Structure 1
Amino acid sequence: MARPFFHLHPASPHHALALAARCALIAMACTAGTGQAQGLAVSAAAQSEATQSYQIAPGALDETLAAFAVRAGISITMPPALVQGKTSPGLQGRYGLREGFAGLLAGTGLEAVAGSGGVYTLRAMPVVVPGAAAGQGAMLGEVRVTAEAQRSSVTEGSGAYVAAGPSSTATRFALSQRETPQSISVITREQIDDRGFQTLDEVALDATGLSTRQIGGGERTQFFMRGFEVNNFLADGVPLAFDYDTQGLATMAMYDRVEVLRGAAGLMTGTGNPSGTINLVRKRPTATPQLTLTGSVGSWNNWRGEVDAAGPLNAAGTLRGRGVVALQDADTFKKAYRHERQLVYGTLEADIAPHTLLSVGGYYNREDSPGADWNGLPTRRDGSFYPFPRSARMTPDWAYWNKENASLFAELEHGFSNGWKGQITARVLRTKMDMLGTYLYPLENSESFGQGAGAYAYQKTQYSLDAFAQGPWQAWGRTHELVVGAGIRQSSDDDGPGGWPADYAPVIDPLQWDSSAVAKPAFNLLWSRRGHQRQAGAYGTLRLSVSDPLTVLLGARLDSYSYDMLTVSGAWSESTPYKVHDRFTPYAGLVYTLDKHHSLYASWTSVFQPQNYQGPRGALLEPVTGRNLEVGIKGEYFNQRLQASAAVFQVNQQNLPLQLPQSACDPTVPACYAQTGEVRSRGLELELAGQIAPGLQLMAGYTYNKAEHVQDSDAAKAGTPYDTLTPRHLFKLSTRYQLPGEWSRWTVGASLRTRSATRTPSYPVRQGGYTVADLMLGYQLSPQLDLRLNVYNITDKYYYQALGSTQDNNHFGAPRNVLLSARYRF
């Protein structure tokens, strides 16, 4: 009797669910020996190596392969004896046939062989003997599926809202979420694409505990976590000082993911606030060719196009490249306010030796914003809001805010035979800003405002060099890990010319003002600023395996910092030198493994931040110092496809600046500040991210945060709120669901963010809590072409997304709007 087998042919999407069920029934019947071989035949489809999206849940091997055959449009024969009792980890993300088979068959000892007529046969993986003749049938090219590959940190093509691979954002060690004793959120490429995000401001909408504020206009964004500003970023793990005046944020097309570390990151950045840091991880070249074309059109004439190409550049595959070009031209919901954006990114990777990788590249980003606000909208003197339409602006139409960024980088990595790895990275970033804008100031005994104007040009350059080595070492009968490194960062500011008009003082009635009826004045450019900063540091961290369940991390960093700024304004000038020597930053953490799914952790970290604020007599304030204590639990489920965390934290910070009334400042000091003593921020963070059911991806985060003064020169401030613009309660939820069976071409998604009331600290401006909801609908027209429709703010909620003062810096959130996108993959 012939040996029974399955013979699966491609089915239409309308028969997918029935086909999978019938396949399972046939498998049981054949295994029991109750019948002869049975076939399942439907119309054939051409084979294709093009990648497409799969959402196949873990399960019985025959069922997962049946679902794969239907989705891929191929035929598979499966002898029941081979698949009986075997399971598959499923398949989540975008794959070609080779990678798809490798993922589904990982750990089964089986392989798929291509035969005549495009039919694939399942068989036991043969033992390869050097020099043996090739067997009949064309085998798939070699696909190596190792534990390390499965833990890859790349999120592109994963189809997931969670990064299953390791992260080195917190400690330099490549650790999983459970192994890292701090809170980390990852916004994956899949989530960025599903949500239609094009800027870092938009990515912040989904990141747990991260909030934004607009300062002095729509083109200057501040990021906050745990009640404090995030003032240091990482670019592929290398520290980068963030300057909201000049740095463009509309660069998401070049990034694979955004990793958000909450709590002090002094071990990685040296300086900064204990709020956390944001690590921007760029896309890299791929081993297989790929080309993606993306186009979108949205409300307010929002047109955007993107080309993303990657792959090997020589026959051996030892030289690989990637290039991204993105262009956008868009109006906004504000009158006479536009965005014109350009991004060009390119990178090369070369295997210059068996264990040595060289990566070089760079990007150019330009963001022109005609009509950009500098001041935002005012409120009435009592803090109540004017009944403005959301298109209102208090800035003349001739205002603008233009940014230009260019960066080059080189990275050399070498792996040693003893398990150690070394890496050195060099990076330069040049940022420019050219702006022309206006601001408001209150007039006495009047509800009207005066308006001033300014014109400024900034140019800033950052150079950074970072080198580290990490690897295992043996002691006390156990294997531990060590990382040691050093870095230097230098920046120069060449700001100016800048100035203001001599005869510009219009009176503004907020409800009776036409932004198009104001003539552009002539400007006197009398202001300039030149400055230099330099930071050099060395760091080291031990990861000690104390016992099987307990790991302890001990680290430290030593930094020196210098700063010098010369400011000239007309006939007045001032030089402000500042130095910090041998500043010590400790780090401690422990992780206790409860079981195969859960770990408890605790960490204590510290950080310092030099500051150029002046006291009442002009002396610079001492550095801000802070410490972060965090305790929590983390869980990983379904082979890391679902991750959960819960943490409580306390942040204490000293020497924070608060601006004093001008009457308290020496006449030669333009603005002065006091060191407030100590501020304490306490809170709770909860997060759930990943696949919670077949086809259902989710990211949900809740943050409770309360910051207050503990000690202050003004005793009455003790116990009063410190940061009232950070919402005490912040909840975010984003979901994406791929429909099952015959509806599998469709995906639906929804998101919402809810925040509690906020108010300005020094002005009577308050806004109650609000909720904003978005929807997404996606359709896969073909294996290569995806369509997606995003509807934002579906209830057309009227709210201010940022508060400032009674005279300016209040900014509306966007009204209901739509974005239609199409993505074609070759």
Structure 2
Amino acid sequence: MQVKQIMLLGTLCTYALAATANSPQKHLTSNTNAYVRTLHNISDDEQQNGGIRGRITTSDGSVAPKVSVKLKGTRYGTVTNEDGEYHVKKVPEGDYVMVVSAVGLQANEKAVHVVGRKTVIVDFSLTESQAQLAVVEVNSNKNKYKVNRPSNSLRLQSPIIEVPQNIQIVTSQLMADQLVFDVVDGITRNVSGATRLGHWDAQYANIFMRGTNIPAFRNGMNQKMPWGPLADDAATIDRVEFVKGPAGFMMANGEPGGIYNIVTKKPTGMDRSSISLSGGGYNLGRVAADLDGKITKDGRLLYRLNVAAQTKGSYNKYNYTDKYVIAPVISYKIDSNTTVTAEYTTQHVEAQALGTYGFSPKGFADTDPSFFLGDPALDPAKLYDHNVTLYFNHRLGSGWQINAQAAYVRYGLDGGTPWPSTIAPNGDMRRYLNISEELAINKNAQVSIFGDLVTGPVVHRILTGIDMGNLKTWGDFSSVTLNDLQLENNATFNIYNPVYGIPFKNIPFFDRSRSIQNRSGSNVYATNLTYTGAYLQDELRMLEGKLRLTLAGRFTRAITVGKTNLTQLSDNVFSPRVGLSYSILKDLSAYTLYDQAFLPQAGQNWAGEPFKPVRGNNIEFGLKKDWLDGKWNTTFAAYRIIKKNVLTPDLDPAHLRVNPNAQIQLGETRSQGIELDINGEITRNLNLVLNYAYTDAKVTKDNRNILVGRRTPNSVKHITNGWLYYRFRRDGSLLNGFGLNGGYQIQLGRYAGSTAAPLSLPAYYRFDAGASYEKGRITISALVNNLLDRRLLTQGSYTQLSAPTATSVSYYTYIYDMPRNARVTIAYRFK
């Protein structure tokens, strides 16, 4: 071994002296690095065989992750990691043809000669831009929780470490390790400062971040509706991208606090189908299948089909939720430069009741979690959505590309909502039942063009495009109402000792013979919101790409239609964006950002007047650092956001009689704080997610002059989360393939969902733990959530009556998190 190293070292020195005399210093560095890599990567496994390693990049200099590397006609091959690197080990001596390929990428080949006991360095430069490479999930321990690049739908061409904004990505691998079944199922624990607000039995995500409710995006298009969309099922999710701060420029329109973007699964061209079965506490049962492959042998026509069916009971007595999801995707490669994709997703949900709320005249968490406001005699609510999306991707040449997409979403709800009309001090409650129906149609279209221009030493990374959207909603929550849900023999319903069983004669009939459009047109629930935006961004890359200055602007025209010309709003807004990012080291960057947000809002106040758009601005500073050759990452950010026209519940009793869900707009809120995120493989086989956020969110201006200084509703001052996952990897060991995982969630300084009374929610402490076993194509996973079985709240508010009586007093409303429950999943991969 020593002789071999001395010979290689001598050769290295000889070559270095020759290179110094005959070539520039950069050639010396390049070839020296190649020999050093050869010296240090000869392992005992390669004593008799050789190896091939290298790096694959694109023509614009970006790395190319998840690219297939194969030796033609053999079983040897691998896939590049997130840094575009690959290593094919234990290759017998001989001549081979290497083939590299990926979806949307023209295959490339090179001849290579492998010599025993040596590692050959073979690099590839591809003519495809990084933005067109498909995101392919790979079952490997390295970077299970860390992603280096955002999806195409964010329109960013640079790695995350170079982007002047805090972007956190939750991978499908992480979701699988945590046995997450939908986007509200604990996914926010993986992102600093993100929380989920309990609402309508978790049918909607309702996620808060940086002191504000953030909208739901799907593949880069805003899907936010007054009561939707439905929470995305994990079977359809490839990743979830949390973009912090204003994302209006990149993503059409977004809240100043940020957005979350669901990236759905697309065909990969690789036969990697799987099926899973799950079961757990509260009568949980689930089956999901992911079919991924080629329709034609040449790989030009690809498909992916995800389906899932789930039934789930509830800690609420008599409540349940059944649903199914179907999501087919077809992708066709017209030629080497052009790909079209069609995607359809539908969800259907049946729930005995949408409300899992608890009520008490005494305080939060006063009643047992099993308390059920509804009744088994009432019809269940039914919800659905249909989402059709078309994608077009075309490479123009010279590294320029054009992407276009259009989406149509139709969401509906049919049901009835019980709610308390009065609560007495002893817990006696009178309930009413009103019709609950909604229809929402959301249409979006986007076109973007991007590429690089070079002017002297400066590279201009240009992005421009237009996007358009129209949201129409119709709601009926008042046309049919039963003022008192009377029990048999007029028995009293008491929150501490509830009795169920409403006689058939006391249940109202909801007349739906007239369309929802007819019924909604006569109330305040009809919405018609349209916007068109055009944008241009130039990322100036200087000092060989180390310094990056982003200059951007967006013009948006938005029209919110009211019932009369006097209540119709029309806005023309220009939003600037300035960002600066500098690579202090190759794996360390600092950034600052100034951005503005403009977001039209759907809905009307109690008087039928449309809401003014949200306006806001953000100033942010941050540091990003990759560690251990990019295996894990830390992100630190400090920010200050000013937001105007914030929506909050209207607590005026006179207004609530007109519209029980009435909202008003505050003058201004301010959110400021710090965030820390740590993600990735800390040591071999040990993956970690760890984060902390401090959020100071207050009302700074108030149209009613009574709320200034109070905390914004549903904000949390301190949040920290942690998750560890370790897999034993040792051949021949009894523990090989065995894994342990667990985590915690802590929230302190929580504020209730009302500015009318400055109430605090109890501290939130949750601990989870589990184990798994992986053998070949089979993985068995088990997890216990809320291990200590604490009474945790995901939401709370307070209804204050101006004139309490002996039978009607002010009361607290709250929603519990799930009590202790266990889950088990068995997954099988066909290849």
Greater mean deviation of Cα atoms: 338-347 or 574-583: 574-583
Distance 2:84 2:262 in 1: 33
* 2:159 counterpart of 1:176: yes
The residue aligned with 1:800 is 793
Give deviations 1:288-327, integer Å, cap 9, x for gaps. 2222111111112211111111112112111111111111
Mapping of residues 354-393 of structure 1, within 5 Å: 354-369=336-351, 371-374=352-355, 376-380=357-361, 382-388=362-368, 390-393=369-372
Residue aligned with 2:787, SS:
coil
* Correspondence for 2:188 among 166, 179, 204: 204
Distance 1:819 1:593, change over 3 A: same
Distance 1:111 1:334, change over 3 A: closer
The residue aligned with 1:39 is none
Percent identity between the aligned chains? 18
* Correspondence for 2:728 among 739, 755, 778: 739
Residue aligned with 2:189, SS:
coil
* Correspondence for 1:820 among 810, 824, 827: 824
* Correspondence for 2:543 among 530, 547, 553: 547
Q: Is the Cα–Cα contact under 8 Å of residues 501 and 523 in structure 1 kept in the other structure? A: no
Letter aligned with residue 529 of structure 2: Q
Distance 1:603 1:342, change over 3 A: same
Distance 2:443 2:341 in 1: 17
Q: Is the Cα–Cα contact under 8 Å of residues 459 and 542 in structure 2 kept in the other structure? A: no
Letter aligned with residue 821 of structure 1: T
Calculate the TM-score normalised by the size of structure 1: 0.81
The residue aligned with 2:489 is none
Distance 1:665 1:201, change over 3 A: closer
Residue aligned with 1:499, SS:
coil
Mapping of residues 443-522 of structure 1, within 5 Å: 443=423, 447-496=427-476, 499-502=479-482, 504-506=484-486, 508-517=493-502, 519=504, 521-522=507-508
Greater mean deviation of Cα atoms: 689-698 or 799-808: 799-808
* 2:336 counterpart of 1:336: no
Instruction: Give 1:211 shift.
Output: 0.8
Instruction: Give 1:512 shift.
Output: 1.8
The residue aligned with 2:802 is none
Aligned pair count reads 738
* 2:774 counterpart of 1:780: yes
Distance 1:426 1:464 in 2: 6
Distance 1:671 1:795 in 2: 36
The residue aligned with 1:348 is 330
Distance 1:60 1:192, change over 3 A: farther
Instruction: Give 1:558 shift.
Output: 1.1
Greater mean deviation of Cα atoms: 783-792 or 661-670: 661-670
Distance 2:98 2:822 in 1: 55
The residue aligned with 2:261 is 279
Instruction: Give 1:609 shift.
Output: 2.8
Letter aligned with residue 631 of structure 1: F
Instruction: Give 1:748 shift.
Output: 0.9
Distance 1:666 1:31 in 2: 82
Residue aligned with 1:643, SS:
strand
Distance 1:338 1:617, change over 3 A: closer
Instruction: Give 1:438 shift.
Output: 0.1
* Correspondence for 1:162 among 142, 145, 153: 145
Instruction: Give 1:244 shift.
Output: 6.2
Q: Is the Cα–Cα contact under 8 Å of residues 455 and 500 in structure 1 kept in the other structure? A: yes
Mapping of residues 646-685 of structure 1, within 5 Å: 646-659=636-649, 661-662=651-652, 675-685=665-675
The residue aligned with 2:576 is 586
* 2:398 counterpart of 1:418: yes
* Correspondence for 2:387 among 397, 402, 407: 407
* Correspondence for 2:199 among 215, 225, 229: 215
Instruction: Give 1:377 shift.
Output: 0.8
Letter aligned with residue 164 of structure 1: V
Distance 1:474 1:275, change over 3 A: same
The residue aligned with 1:697 is 687
Distance 1:624 1:824 in 2: 47
Q: Is the Cα–Cα contact under 8 Å of residues 272 and 829 in structure 2 kept in the other structure? A: yes
* Correspondence for 1:235 among 205, 213, 218: 218
Instruction: Give 1:660 shift.
Output: 5.0
Instruction: Give 1:770 shift.
Output: 2.5
Residue aligned with 1:553, SS:
strand
Distance 2:817 2:663 in 1: 32
Instruction: Give 1:220 shift.
Output: 4.1
Distance 1:510 1:108 in 2: 62
* Correspondence for 2:561 among 559, 564, 577: 564
Q: Is the Cα–Cα contact under 8 Å of residues 170 and 265 in structure 1 kept in the other structure? A: no
Distance 1:281 1:393, change over 3 A: same
Instruction: Give 1:642 shift.
Output: 1.0
Q: Is the Cα–Cα contact under 8 Å of residues 236 and 280 in structure 1 kept in the other structure? A: yes
Give deviations 1:664-713, integer Å, cap 9, x for gaps. 86998888766533221111100000011000111111110011122334
Aligned-residue RMSD, C-alpha: 4.0
Letter aligned with residue 487 of structure 1: D
Greater mean deviation of Cα atoms: 491-500 or 428-437: 491-500
The residue aligned with 1:42 is none
Q: For structure 1, which runs of at least 5 residues remain unmatched after alignment?
A: 1-26, 34-57, 67-76, 114-119, 138-142, 567-573
Instruction: Give 1:626 shift.
Output: 0.6
Q: Is the Cα–Cα contact under 8 Å of residues 726 and 758 in structure 1 kept in the other structure? A: yes
Greater mean deviation of Cα atoms: 146-155 or 699-708: 146-155
The residue aligned with 2:174 is 191
Distance 1:642 1:682 in 2: 27
Distance 2:180 2:355 in 1: 24
Q: For structure 2, which runs of at least 5 residues remain unmatched after alignment?
A: 8-37, 57-62, 100-107, 117-121, 487-491, 513-518, 800-810
* Correspondence for 1:709 among 684, 692, 699: 699
Give deviations 1:62-116, integer Å, cap 9, x for gaps. 55x85xxxxxxxxxx6437x57999999x99999996754659x99998668xxx
Distance 1:532 1:206 in 2: 35
* Correspondence for 2:407 among 409, 424, 427: 427
Residue aligned with 2:574, SS:
strand
Q: Is the Cα–Cα contact under 8 Å of residues 158 and 190 in structure 1 kept in the other structure? A: no
Calculate the TM-score normalised by the size of structure 2: 0.80
Letter aligned with residue 263 of structure 1: G
* Correspondence for 1:597 among 583, 587, 596: 587
Distance 1:312 1:84, change over 3 A: closer
* 2:227 counterpart of 1:245: yes
* 2:697 counterpart of 1:726: no
Q: Is the Cα–Cα contact under 8 Å of residues 150 and 159 in structure 2 kept in the other structure? A: yes
Distance 1:499 1:708, change over 3 A: same
Letter aligned with residue 225 of structure 1: M
Letter aligned with residue 429 of structure 1: V
